[in-house]
Structure 1
C-alpha cells in the first residue's frame, strides 16, 4: 500500500545540529518501519516534511572540498556562524535567517522509485513557486538547484539542493533564499562552483522583505500537486 499523506512540521528557527539529529531520528524511524513492514505488508510507512530556518551555518556535503570554506575557525566564530560536515550529496552551502529550508523525509516507494526524478521534482516545486512572483527559475545542466539567467554572464543561484537517500527514504532537501543576507555567501565557493553568483527573492523583486509564510504556502501547494500528496 502507498501512503501519500505527509506529516507537516514547521520547526521555526532551529540550530542546524538539532534539526539534523531530528531528521536522522525520523529517517531511522521510516527505515526501521520498512524493515519490519515485510512481515505485515498491509501497513504503510509514514512521510514527513520539515520547514526550518537555521542560525548562520555552513555545511559541507560528502563529496565536498573543505577548501571551498574561505574562513578559519576563528573567523567563523567572529561571524557567529558554525560549520558541519554532513551526509548529504553536494558541496558547501550556507543556511541562515531569511532562508526557507525544506527537508522532505519521504519513503519514495509511496511515490516513485527514482532519485533523479525526485530531484527534478524538488527543483520544479521551486521553479513553479518563483513563477508566481514572475521570476523565471531554471535548471543548470549538471548543477542541481534552481538558477536565474543561466547561459548569461549574470547566472545566479537562488535555491540550493542536496539530499541523502537509503532504502528509498530521503532526507535533507532544499534551501531557498528569500530574505537572506547574501554577504554570508562571500565566505564560501557556493556548491564548489566558481564564478557564479547567488541571489535572494527579495533582491530579485527589489523589496526589503518578502512574506515567508506566503512563500511556504506556495511551496506546499506545488509540492502537493507534483507528488499527488496531502499534508496533514
Structure 2
C-alpha cells in the first residue's frame, strides 16, 4: 500500500522535519509507505557527495535572490528546488518491497524504479524520456528545436528533466526526486546541476509536443502517484492532509494496544497446564 499526500508549497526546513516525523512512524509500522508530493521555494541542497565549487553563485547573490542553501544527507551533488518543480519524498520501507526477481529491494533497485515512474509520467504527456548509463536521473534526448538549437551543441542533446537522490536508514527511505514541470530553468545557472557541466536541464513544459497543455502541479502529482503504484505494484490511496495521516497513525497505535491482552487468557493457561484461579465469592 502507498498512501500519498499533495502538500502544495512547503518550506524546505519543514519538508525535512516532515520526512523525519513520517520516517519514524514508518519504522514503527504505524503508517504504510508514504509518498509526499510538494513544491519548495527556491533552495539549493548539497548532498553527501557535493562539492561546494558546483555552487556557482556567491552567498551574497543567493541572499539577493532569496535562495537558501542546505547541506543534507541524501546521495548526490548539488540540486536546485523551486516553484514549478514537483518534489517527491517517498518514505518507504524497503523490506516491504520486492525486486523483479522476488528478492528484497535494495537502494539501487529503488532508484531505478523511481526513474521508471518518472519516465512514465513523461510518457503520459507525450514526452520521450529515459536513462543514461552511469548517470542517475531521468533524461530527454533527441533533436532540440527553435531557440534551443542555437544554444546547445550536438553533445548536449541529452537534457535532464528529473533528479534523484535518496537516503536510507534502517531500511526506511527519505529524500527522493525533483521533476521539472514549469520550473524557471534560468535558476539552474546558479549551480552545476548534480555536478554535471556538459548537459543542460529541461522541463516538461519545454519538452511536450506542440499543442499539449501542461497541467498544474497537483495533477502532475496525481500522475506521479499513479505511476509509483504501477511500478511498485502497490495500491495507491490519497490521504487528505497531514492531520488525516497522523490520525491514521494514532488509530493504528490504539488498535495495536487494544489487541495486546492485559493478562494471559484462561484458555491459554489451561493449554500450558496452569492451575485455574480460585472462583470469586
Q: Same fold (TM over 0.5)?
A: yes
Instruction: Give the 3 Å change call, closer, same or farther, for CA 207–23 of structure 1 in structure 2.
Output: farther
C-alpha displacement of 1:213: 2.7
Instruction: Give the 3 Å change call, closer, same or farther, for CA 48–207 of structure 1 in structure 2.
Output: same
Residue aligning to 1:41: none
Unaligned residue ranges in structure 1 (runs of 5+): 35-43
Superposition misfits of 4+ residues, deviation over 3 angstroms: 150-153, 206-209
Residue aligning to 1:215: 220
Q: Greater shift after overlay, 54-63 or 112-121? A: 112-121
Residue aligning to 2:129: 137
Q: What pairs with 1:1-232 in structure 2 (closer than 5 Å)?
A: 5-31=1-27, 33=28, 46-112=32-98, 113-149=105-141, 152-205=155-208, 210-211=214-215, 212-232=217-237
Partner Cα separation in structure 1 for residue 69 and residue 81 of structure 2: 10
C-alpha displacement of 1:12: 1.0
Higher strand share: 1
TM-score (norm 1): 0.88
SS at match of 1:147: strand
Partner Cα separation in structure 1 for residue 174 and residue 168 of structure 2: 6
Structure (1 or 2) with the larger CA radius of gyration: 2
Partner Cα separation in structure 1 for residue 123 and residue 90 of structure 2: 22
Unaligned residue ranges in structure 2 (runs of 5+): 99-104, 143-153, 238-281
SS at match of 1:197: coil
C-alpha displacement of 1:207: 7.3
TM-score (norm 2): 0.73
